[in-house]
Amino acid sequence: MPSGLDAGWFLPEGLEWAAVAIAYLLGSVPFGLVLVRLVRGIDLRTIGSGNIGATNAMRAAGKPVGYAVFVLDFLKGFAPVFWLAPAVALAPERQLSLQVLCGALAVLGHCFPLYLLFRGGKGVSTGCGALVAIDPRVALAGGVVWLIVLLSLRYTGLASLMMGLTFPIAAALAGAPAQGPLVVGTLLLALLIVVRHRTNIRRMLAGNEPKIGAKKNTGVKA
C-alpha cells in the first residue's frame, strides 16, 4: 500500500478505467426513487425534501423502506471499492488510489446520477460505504461523531456535516494505509458534503432548521 501521494496517484489504465466507470454507473442507481415508487407509487422527488436518499424515503414510505435505501446506497459505495478495485488494480501499490477513485466516482454518481439528469442525493450513505471498504477506522470515527451530534442536538444535517469534517482528520491520524490518496479523498468528500448541505447550513444560521422528532413540514427541504 502506498503511504503518500508520490506512490499512489495515477491515471487509471486498462480495466482500471472499467472499474471507475462501473463505480459511477452503480452510484447513479437511484434506489430511493425506485423503492418508494414500488412501495408507494409516488415520485420521491416531488415530496418532502425532494431528495432521493434514505431520510426522505423514510419520511415518504416508512422506516423499513428508509433503512433499505440506506443499505443499498451504502453498498453502492462499498461494492466497487471492496471487491472491484482490488480485483482489477494493475499492481498492489495502485490499489489504494484506485479504491479512493472508485469511491469518489460512486459518490459523484449518487450526487449527480446519469439516469436522473445529474440531480441526485447528498452522498453521505454512499461515501460511508466507500470508507468502510477502505479503512473502517475512519468510517467508525465519523459515525461516532454523527451519532453524538444527532443525539445531542437532533439536527440530521449538522450531524452529517460534522461526520464529513471528521473523515479527513481521522484519515490523517489513522496512519498507513490511511494516508496520501485517502486523506485527499476524504477532504474532497467533506467539501462535497458541505456543498450538498448548504441549504441546511443556511437554515441553521437562520434558526429554522427542523430537528429530528419535530412536526413534519413537507415544504421544508432537509
Least confident of 76-80, 116-120, 211-215: 211-215
Statement: residue 222 has pLDDT above 80:
no
Is the pTM higher than 0.75? The answer reads: yes
Provide the Cα torsion 102, 188, 137, 100; round to 10°: 20
d(CA 176, CA 138): 12
Whole-number pLDDT of residue 21: 98
CA distances from residue 191 to 33, 164, 197 in whole angstroms, order as listed: 25, 8, 10
Statement: residue 73 has pLDDT above 80:
yes
The residue extents of the domains of the chain are 8-206
156-174: pLDDT as tens digits = 889 999 999 999 999 999 8
